Amino acid sequence: WEDADFSQGVGTTWYQEYSTLSSTQNPLVRDVEAKIEKYLKTPYIAKWTLKVTWEKVPAYPSWQDDTRTNTYQAVLTTDRDHSFALLLYQDGGMRWNYTELAAGNVLIGFS
């Protein structure tokens, strides 16, 4: 995500934190739990979830081309014992050509 460039005023970042302190859960949290249970075949009840959305963001350096933008999300979640990251991309996938990015080492993930 470090290759996103907001310096030309193009693109927006949004985030929302979901703390699961009551029995009433947000539909997004229930969806995240269901995806983890489905794909990892393990029971999961989130204690905390963070959704970050990068909307219509150009790659660095944006002054070269701010028309090829990406919209993507990272959803981080934990049950206090295990943590997961769901990386979601717009239809059509990543639109940046990583071979043209200024940085040669492109990483996607979390630590």
90-110 tens-digit pLDDT:
887 777 766 666 666 655 555
The total number of structural domains in the chain stands at 1
How much is the pLDDT for 87?
86
In a domain, 21, yes or no: yes
How much is the pLDDT for 65?
67
* pTM of this structure: 0.77
In a domain, 75, yes or no: yes
In a domain, 7, yes or no: no
Residues of the chain with pLDDT under 70: 1-2, 21-24, 62-66, 97-111
In a domain, 2, yes or no: no
In a domain, 28, yes or no: yes
Q: Which domain holds residue 70?
A: 12-94
Q: Which amino acid, one-letter code, is at 67?
A: T
Side-chain half-sphere CA neighbours of 53 within 13 A: 9
How much is the pLDDT for 109?
58
